[in-house]
Structure 1
Amino acid sequence: MPPSARRDFLLRTIIFANGECSSPCDPLAWLRPGDRIIVADGGARRCLALGLTPHLLIGDFDSLPAETVETFRTRGAEIRRYPAEKDETDLELALYAALEQETEEVLVFGALGGRWDMTLGNLLLLAHPDFREAPIRIVDGPQSVTLLPRGRAYEIAGQEGDTVSLIPLRGDAKGVTTRGLRYPLKGGTLRFGATRGLSNLIVRSPASVTVEDGLLLCLVIANTSPPLPNP
């Protein structure tokens, strides 16, 4: 059933896409009461296997049996069907739907693995002009990735011993300052296409990153436990 109408706090949105999930990957460990669940097409199989009923099932349903769609419809899920020949992937449509309501964070499962074109396209959705300011995080097993907001400190969802990689997109990332990482930066520049930002390490928690200009991905690999939700 849909979450309670109580609105004194922001709800999170969980999206199940049709990609693969690395092991260990337990989306149930991330769920908390009130989370809104959106399923993008074939991600419905994972949702069904977990015993979850989504609030919204969206996509062209080209990789989903009709009986699965009807199962969720009878359980009260909203169904939005799109034509197979469209300009957006099912995950892109799911992200637009997620941002129709104010949300604390959007967590995406099943966005990676399988076809490289889909994996790269899904990662680059984080830099889409309509999404780059939104709190979206892709989670896959012990790894998670988000696009950093500009002009303010971002507290990394990790703990001591976790690996952190900072990867510029589309151009250089400038004014990069880190705290709590083994190899610090203070107002530095990470060049697009270079590897300087890879394989850093959290040595003091909470760790944070600030970027003043440019698009910068923050990828966290939890070395001892699943990645942490944002504080």
Structure 2
Amino acid sequence: MRTSNSDVLSFHLGRWQLTANNLWGNPSILLIAGGQAPSVEWLAQISPLFQEIWCADSGIEICKKAQIIPHRLIGDSDSSSLEGRAWAEENGVRIETYPVDKDYTDLQLTLKRIGETYPDAKVVITGCWGGRLDHTWSNIYSALWAQEWNVHVVSLCDHKEALFLLNGPDKATFHFELPYPNVVSLFALDEKAEGVFIRGTHWELQNVLLKITRPYAISNRLKKDYLQVDVDKGRLAVYLYWAE
């Protein structure tokens, strides 16, 4: 497994702990999007770990249900309720409203505004799964696009799904508490990801080439309480899934 002298990120979130190179510091912002809501218990557990919480449009409904007051609410108000926005106003949330007819999605606008406000911010996105495939696809690639806005998205995750973004040369080590994830999958996010290693799983890979059009490295499973992933070149997604 390749080693690196880069700065190291190490943080604990829910049932896993991540140590990774090339991520330059701990995540500071939790971005709550308007997709499938994470469990209230999970959100209450992880929200104190962040310096600020931002919402994309109907993400405010998730905050309201969990009684977690975000710092900012960004969006066009087409999917958030009047009650949700009124609750935000009553609690002093800074609200930025945009036209419904716009070039960016609410999530993209929020990532863009984070980059303008806090250059080089490290972000974890939740409320990003479920529903329509085009939304999920857009959310994943918006997280990659955010690098152009000086934002580094570390993970898109909730209480049962987590996707981590590695950009080679990069490496990550995960340490898990029970219950362990049931599924471990790898996806190339560029045309190809080169020099891919995975260890701690039933099927291990050593210095392989993964192509975006040949997604075979899925449905793997842990054989230990840790996972090591390494990519030499290209962008790679590490996906974890916990069954109900």
Q: Distance in 2 between matches of 1:61 and 1:166?
A: 35
The change in CA–CA distance for 1:85 and 1:23 in structure 2 (over 3 A counts) is same
Task: Determine what percentage of the aligned residue pairs are the same residue.
Answer: 26
Farther off after superposition, 28-37 or 181-190 = 28-37
Match of 1:142 among 160, 164, 172: 160
Q: Residue 94 in 1 paired to residue 114 in 2?
A: no
Quote the residue 1:18 is aligned against. Answer: 34
Quote the residue 1:228 is aligned against. Answer: none
The alpha carbon displacement at 1:92 in A equals 1.1
Q: TM-score when scaled to structure 1? A: 0.80
Q: Which amino acid aligns with 1:149?
A: N
Q: Distance in 2 between matches of 1:70 and 1:133?
A: 29
Q: Distance in 2 between matches of 1:126 and 1:27?
A: 20
The change in CA–CA distance for 1:132 and 1:175 in structure 2 (over 3 A counts) is farther
Matched ranges for 1:109-124 at <5 A:
109-124=126-141
Quote the residue 1:181 is aligned against. Answer: 201
**1:122 aligned counterpart, secondary structure:** helix
Compare the two structures and name the one with the higher helix fraction: 2
RMSD over aligned Cα atoms = 2.8
Unaligned runs of 5+ in 1: 1-8, 225-231
Compare the two structures and name the one with the higher strand fraction: 2
Match of 2:125 among 101, 108, 129: 108
Quote the residue 2:90 is aligned against. Answer: 74
Aligned residues: 216
Q: Distance in 2 between matches of 1:32 and 1:86?
A: 33
Farther off after superposition, 42-51 or 173-182 = 173-182
Q: Is the Cα–Cα contact under 8 Å of residues 60 and 82 in structure 1 kept in the other structure?
A: yes
Q: Distance in 1 between matches of 2:138 and 2:193?
A: 21
Q: TM-score when scaled to structure 2? A: 0.76
The alpha carbon displacement at 1:101 in A equals 2.3
